[in-house]
Amino acid sequence: MFLVAKPRHWQRELGPSLLALFAGSLITLSLAPYDIWPAAILSCCLYMALLRDCPVRLAVWRGWLFGVGMFGTGISWVYVSIHEHGHASVLLALSLTTLFCAAMALLHALFAWVYVRFLRHLMAGMLLGFPALWVLFEWLRSWFLTGFPWLYIGYSTLDTWAQGWVPVIGVFGVSLLCAFSASCIYLAYMRRHVQAYLVYGTMIASIWLIGWQLQQAKWVAAASATPLSVGIVQPNIPQELKWQREYYEPTLALYQSMTEPLLGMDIILWPESAIPNYYQRSGEFLLPLASKARKQGSALIIGIPWQVEGSPNYHNSIVAMGNGSGQYHKQRLVPFGEYVPLESLLRGLIAFFNLPMSGFSPGPANQQPILAHDFRLSPFICYEIVYPELVRKYAQQADLMITISNDSWFGSSIGPLQHLQMARMRALENGRYLIRGTNNGISAIIDEHGTVLTQSPQFERLNLVGEAQVMLGATPYSRIGSLPVIVLCWVLLGLVLVAGSLGFKLQHG
């Protein structure tokens, strides 16, 4: 008789650990550019299964691995900016990217600890507690340490029936519905009898059918039968040349030659930091062009650094000229790209911590819209567009939204495609057209339904021409924001804990 050795602990845990990594990576597959939306729901189902019976210590480990799978695949584009544009070696870029993803994954380790410690032993904890906790952690990522609101599962609902909910409850609300759908599926699978299939199946069907019906609602309406003509300049200037002194004059000549054919259009949009100089030092070039734009009825809206008078500070800004007026200074800055945390310690340590124009100061809160003709535009720069509440705050007082970016930092990775998807969600949430101008693509005009009406290819020099409509009215989300959903999640958690204290335990089997 042969004695069979018992598998060691790490061997028993290898399968669940790999499954946790896989489950986390499914979040990425549910989002752009893959758009396999059921993957988000499957990811949550697998996550619940992985956390069902394991001790707390293993739950934290599996939660962290889930986060590693999620962030390691979903924000791997960080490597491109560190290596290709930050001039870090492959090894250093990989190390920094890995460290960043591993640190972000700690939030899922905390999620797993809270869920296992307080919720998983309750029926209500699995049905309501899991989705509520999921959304609260997404919300946490929108502001913790200035925020990194990326990879929300609500974005997977674009172009599905569930997107009808978006103008009502926003991205956090549809994330809640996705996670709740996953809870229903998992509980139906766990109970495995006809009654459970009917009850949970009815819940899921109701969510998606109501979403389909909500798509027929008309929350906003066009202000005029005549749309605005829009021209977007996409110069496709290589990032490695953008800030070189010898390329400055060719940059001005390029913008001049690309803008002149667009003069006469209502709005002409340049990308983020289009001119690699301060606005205050660029008058010799900009003022004659703005005068031409004014004479031909165009509002020229440009991205350009802005020097603060009497101060060493400067902003990443948008300026409206010609038949436009006003300035906007970016409020949510990108760490390391636009400012360096712990600057006195890190600045100059490696090339990545000394990128060009990485000393911006944030602009003030409560800035006014900029004007194009008599229309109010809410402006956003780069990844400001991914902050739901920031966008809602300014969209409330605007006729149109604009966003400018320089996604050259992320090359041919999935980052720019995810960025566009989130911009679409902001247009749908707020019922406003969104005009998006980028250096190398994807530039786009997005309507109030989040539909891309026209877009540019990436890595091509061109002018994108289209039309945008001024909308009247407001969506329910634009009026009330994310607060009701966040409060609901806290209330659900409170009710679950009360149910637990009253002894409503989940009976397995």
pLDDT tens, residue by residue, 197-208: 999 999 999 999
pLDDT at res. 10: 60
Contact 308, 364 (CB under 8 A): no
Measured CA to CA in angstroms, residue 116 lies from 106, 175, 212, 504 at distances of 15, 21, 34, 16
Task: Give the residue-averaged pLDDT of 329-351.
Answer: 66
- What's the pLDDT at 355? 58
> Which is catalytic among the residues 44, 178, 184, 382?
382
Query: Residue range 251-262: average pLDDT?
Result: 97
Query: Which amino acid does the sequence have at 161?
Result: W
**pTM, two decimal places:** 0.93
Write down the pLDDT at residue 508: 41
Confidence of residue 306 (pLDDT cuts 50, 70, 90): very high
Q: What is the pLDDT of residues 110-135, one digit of tens each?
A: 999 999 999 999 999 999 999 999 99
The secondary structure element, H or E, covering residue 320 is: strand 314-322
Q: Which two tokens stand for residue 467?
A: 């039309």
The fourth-level CATH superfamily of domain 221-340+352-474 is Carbon-nitrogen hydrolase (3.60.110.10)
H-type alpha helices, 215-360: 239-242, 248-259, 283-295, 343-346
For residue 479, count other CB atoms closer than 10 A to its CB.
11
pLDDT at 335 (0 to 100): 74
Domain boundaries, the chain: 16-218+482-501, 221-340+352-474
Pick from 161, 189, 151, 200: nearest CA to 46: 189
Catalytic residue among 44, 330, 384, 448: 330
Q: How far is CA 43 from the centre of its chain?
A: 19
Q: pLDDT digits over 394-406, tens only?
A: 999 899 999 999 9
Indicate the average pLDDT of the chain. Answer: 92
Q: Is the model's pLDDT at 439 over the cut of 80?
A: yes
Higher pLDDT, 2 or 275: 275
How long a stretch of residues is the chain?
Answer: 509
More confident residue, 137 or 84: 137
Nearest CA to 416 among 444, 396, 390, 388? 444
Residue 342, pLDDT above cutoff 90? no
Catalytic site residue 272? yes
Q: Helical H runs in 342-475?
A: 343-346, 388-395, 415-430
Place of tokens 């809870």: 183
Is residue 284 annotated as part of the catalytic site, yes or no?
Answer: no
Alpha-carbon distance 72 to 100, whole Å? 9
Question: CB of 134 within 8 A of CB of 174?
Answer: no
Q: What is the arithmetic mean of pLDDT over 488-505?
A: 85
CA-based torsion, 437, 35, 101, 481: positive or negative: positive
3-state SS class at 119: helix
Closest CA to 422 of 441, 403, 439: 403
The CA-based angle 250-253-257, given to 5 degrees, is 140
Percent of all residues in the chain with a pLDDT value above 90, rounded to a whole number: 79
Q: Of 173, 170, 186, give the one whose Cα is nearest residue 115.
A: 186
* Per-residue pLDDT band at 359 (split at 50, 70, 90): confident
Distance separating alpha carbons of residues 289 and 322, to the nearest angstrom: 8
Mean pLDDT over residues 31-58, rounded?
97
Largest CA distance in the chain: 97
CA 107 from centre of chain: 18
pLDDT band of 101, cuts 50, 70, 90: very high
pLDDT, tens digit, 9 for 90 and up, residues 446-477: 999 999 999 999 999 999 999 999 999 999 99
Of 138, 184, 272, 338, catalytic:
272
